[in-house]
């Protein structure tokens, strides 16, 4: 170590939200930090649904927050259960809320990089880190296609695939049930049409996020076990619509995720929202979904892992950028602490784990540790059976068909026991109660 000529105090690999925020928190402390990104254009390799949560951004980009290039404030949230011909929706909207913004990823990353450079981060784009350089089981730098960079600490923020964390054997390959494959279309519509269809004001001060459950679609009739979620976000003059499902469910059902997206887009509740639009972008990305049980080893000598690379995501609430930003910040702070101690060993860098434990990151991942597994185990109930039963109930409530309501409601109640065994109904109830208890009691 003593004879290595270090180029920087810290190297950060990956300029997504985790890497940028890590680099900023290091530069803010007057340390020399190099941020290496394989893409030539910030954000061009990255993809998400569309909403970035503002509280984490405000914490990290305080002084620049007002210049953030958002397109709409997302202040209306709908959870919709799709049945074959319609949907049952729950909408929460708050016109005063600004907790999430619709921002395109390349605009978000470009803005974050500009802020980072102003705060002293040395940014190297268009450079793929091929491997880590190790001496005596300590990481001392990285090797790119053209050269080597040396620093006593490296922060790995290279996203869901994290070849570097796998190279160090801090993380195993994901099991197919712990990885979601998601595809998304960006559909261009004119601004006025979006405002009319989604009942939005013309000043971009409001926007919509919809999460859809249910796949009682024509071509998916025989599918038995599939847990999928679809989403839609309004932007200024585009709508983003996408869907995700685990690789395990897709391969077991021999399903192509594009086929599911086509079905979602043609659903009678969704088609009128995007009708006449032009698809201007089609993208796909993986989402780590192993949660708390699949968190890798987070530090080693000279190394910290942050963001998607560490599997920090709460896919129940589509939260990922906030986990990435805050875990990056905590990784950066931990690196600075170790630099000040002059000790880059795993045990000193483990202050990162303690910081994560105190933050919402490990608390939330812990309290949601069983949720996705339970929802997947009851996917047929959530995605098909209950949306159908809700439809039946509302058919009774909303039609005047000259049959007494009480007899219809009685028949409806008994139909649960005809459709399903008491054991299956109990399993559904138990899964929901278990999730609620876990989330309520948390950590
Ligand atoms: C379909 C979808 C919808 C989502 N919706 C939302 C949402 O609405 N809200 C939300 O908060 N989150 C959402 N997320 C999650 C969110 O996008 C991620 O959690 C977040 O981007 C993770 O940030 P990160 O910095 O850890 O990784 P990334 O954003 O993946 O960044 C990693 C960076 O590392 C670079 N890189 C990788 N390998 C190398 C290498 N070897 N050398 C150099 N550079 C490298 C990549 O090019 C990339 O820029 C969604 C994700 C998906 C896939």
pLDDT tens digits, residue range 108-158? 999 999 999 999 999 999 999 999 999 999 999 999 999 999 999 999 999
Nearest CA to ligand 1 atom 5: 49
Distance between Cα 63 and ligand 1 center (Å): 24
- Read off the DSSP letter of residue 218: G
Closest ligand 1 atom number to CA of residue 50: 8
Closest ligand 1 atom number to CA of residue 20: 25
Helix crossing, 422-441 with 405-419: angle to 10°?
90
State the average pLDDT over residues 91-115: 94
Which CATH number describes the domain made up of 10-68+103-172+294-367? Answer: 3.50.50.60
Distance between Cα 122 and ligand 1 center (Å): 20
Distance between Cα 396 and ligand 1 center (Å): 45
State the average pLDDT over residues 57-78: 96
Which of 70, 100, 158, 161 for mutating ligand 1's site (highest number of atoms within 8 Å of CB)?
158
Q: Is the pLDDT of residue 1 over 70?
A: no
Which of 13, 49, 257 for mutating ligand 1's site (highest number of atoms within 8 Å of CB)?
49
Strands 100-102 and 72-82: antiparallel
CA atoms of 193 and 199, how far apart (whole Å): 10
Secondary structure (DSSP) of 113-170 = HHHHHHTT-EEE-S--EEEEEEETTEEEEEEESS-EEE-SEEEE---TT-HHHHHTTS
Nearest CA to ligand 1 atom 35: 14
pLDDT at 2: 64
Distance between Cα 37 and ligand 1 center (Å): 12
Length of the chain: 443
Q: Tokens representing 408?
A: 């219809």
**Extents of the domains making up the chain:** 10-68+103-172+294-367, 176-288, 372-441
As assigned by CATH, the class of the 176-288 domain is alpha beta
pLDDT at 308: 97
User: Of the candidates 142, 123, 132, 117, which has an alpha carbon nearest to the alpha carbon of residue 39?
Assistant: 123
User: Of the candidates 57, 64, 19, which has an alpha carbon nearest to the alpha carbon of residue 332?
Assistant: 19
Residue given tokens 């340390």 in the structure block: 31
Q: Which of 24-33, 89-98, 220-229 has the lowest mean pLDDT?
A: 220-229
Q: Is the pLDDT of residue 31 over 70?
A: yes
Distances (CA, A) of 41 to 38, 105, 126, 148: 9, 11, 8, 22
Nearest CA to ligand 1 atom 27: 159
pLDDT at 433: 93
CA atoms of 263 and 258, how far apart (whole Å): 9
Distance between Cα 159 and ligand 1 center (Å): 5
State the average pLDDT over residues 361-379: 93
Whether 184 is in the pocket of ligand 1, judged by its Cβ within 6 Å, is: yes
Q: Which of 4-13, 217-226, 342-351 has the lowest mean pLDDT?
A: 217-226
Whether 288 is in the pocket of ligand 1, judged by its Cβ within 6 Å, is: no
State the average pLDDT over residues 413-433: 92
Whether 155 is in the pocket of ligand 1, judged by its Cβ within 6 Å, is: no
User: Of the candidates 6, 333, 294, which has an alpha carbon nearest to the alpha carbon of residue 165?
Assistant: 294
**Of 218 and 421, more confident:** 421
Task: Identify the band that residue 406 occupies on the pLDDT scale cut at 50, 70 and 90.
Answer: very high
Distance between Cα 104 and ligand 1 center (Å): 13
Using a pLDDT cut of 90, give the percent of the chain over it.
84
Nearest CA to ligand 1 atom 22: 308
Task: Identify the band that residue 218 occupies on the pLDDT scale cut at 50, 70 and 90.
Answer: confident
Residue given tokens 């990255």 in the structure block: 46
Whether 387 is in the pocket of ligand 1, judged by its Cβ within 6 Å, is: no
Whether 10 is in the pocket of ligand 1, judged by its Cβ within 6 Å, is: no
Distance between Cα 394 and ligand 1 center (Å): 40
Q: Is the pLDDT of residue 183 over 80?
A: yes
pLDDT digits (tens, 9 = 90+) for 431-443: 999 999 998 888 7
Residue given tokens 């997206």 in the structure block: 261
Whether 209 is in the pocket of ligand 1, judged by its Cβ within 6 Å, is: no
Q: Tokens representing 22?
A: 């890590």
Distance between Cα 304 and ligand 1 center (Å): 17
User: Which sign does the torsion angle of CA 40, 314, 197, 266 carry?
Assistant: positive
Residues 94 and 75 sit within 8 Å (Cβ to Cβ): yes
Q: How large is the C-alpha radius of gyration of the chain?
A: 24
Task: Identify the band that residue 44 occupies on the pLDDT scale cut at 50, 70 and 90.
Answer: confident
Task: Identify the band that residue 42 occupies on the pLDDT scale cut at 50, 70 and 90.
Answer: confident
Closest ligand 1 atom number to CA of residue 53: 11
The residues with which 174 forms a beta bridge, in sequence order, are none
Distance between Cα 165 and ligand 1 center (Å): 15
Nearest CA to ligand 1 atom 26: 307
Rounded to 5 degrees, what are φ and ψ at 300? Answer: -150, 180
Whether 185 is in the pocket of ligand 1, judged by its Cβ within 6 Å, is: no
CA atoms of 330 and 321, how far apart (whole Å): 14
Closest ligand 1 atom number to CA of residue 322: 11
Using a pLDDT cut of 70, give the percent of the chain over it.
100
């Amino acid at each position: 170590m003593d004879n290595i000529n270090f180029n920087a105090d810290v190297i950060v690999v990956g300029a997504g939200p985790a890497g940028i925020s890590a680099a900023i928190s290091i530069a803010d402390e007057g340390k020399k930090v190099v941020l290496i990104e394989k893409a030539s254009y910030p954000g061009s390799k990255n993809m998400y649904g569309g909403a970035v949560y503002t509280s984490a951004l405000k914490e990290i980009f305080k002084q620049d927050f007002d210049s953030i290039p958002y397109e709409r404030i997302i202040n209306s949230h709908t959870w919709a259960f799709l049945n074959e011909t319609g949907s049952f929706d729950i909408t929460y909207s708050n016109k005063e809320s600004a907790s999430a913004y619709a921002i395109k990823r390349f605009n978000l990353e470009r803005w974050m990089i500009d802020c980072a450079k102003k705060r002293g981060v040395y940014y190297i784009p268009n450079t793929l880190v091929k491997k880590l350089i190790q001496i005596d089981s300590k990481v001392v730098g990285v090797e790119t296609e053209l050269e080597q960079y040396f620093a006593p600490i490296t922060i790995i923020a290279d996203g869901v695939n994290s070849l570097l964390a796998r190279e160090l054997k801090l993380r195993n390959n994901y099991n197919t049930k712990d990885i979601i494959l998601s595809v998304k279309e960006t559909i261009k519509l004119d601004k006025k049409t979006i405002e009319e269809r989604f009942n939005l004001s013309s000043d971009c001060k409001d926007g919509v996020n919809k999460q859809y459950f249910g796949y009682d679609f024509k071509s998916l009739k025989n599918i038995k076990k599939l847990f999928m979620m679809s989403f839609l976000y309004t932007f200024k003059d585009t709508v983003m619509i996408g869907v995700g499902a685990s690789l395990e469910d897709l391969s077991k059902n021999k399903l192509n995720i594009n086929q599911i997206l086509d079905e979602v887009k043609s659903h009678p509740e969704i088609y009128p929202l995007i009708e006449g639009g032009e698809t201007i972008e089609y993208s796909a990305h993986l989402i780590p979904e192993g949660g708390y049980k699949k968190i890798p080893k987070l530090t080693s000598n000279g190394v910290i892992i942050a963001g998607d690379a560490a599997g920090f995501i709460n896919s129940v609430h589509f939260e990922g950028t906030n986990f990435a930003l805050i875990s990056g910040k905590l990784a950066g702070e931990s690196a600075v602490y170790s630099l000040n101690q002059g000790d880059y060993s795993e045990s000193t860098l483990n202050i990162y784990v303690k910081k994560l434990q105190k933050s919402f990151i490990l608390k939330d991942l812990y309290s949601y540790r069983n949720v996705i597994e339970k929802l997947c185990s009851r996917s047929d109930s959530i995605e098909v059976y209950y949306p159908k039963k809700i439809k039946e109930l509302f058919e009774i409530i909303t039609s005047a068909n000259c049959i007494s309501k009480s007899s219809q409601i009685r028949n409806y109640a008994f139909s649960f026991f005809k459709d399903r065994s008491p054991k299956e109904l109990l399993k559904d109830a138990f899964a929901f109660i278990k999730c609620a208890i876990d989330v309520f009691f948390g950590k």
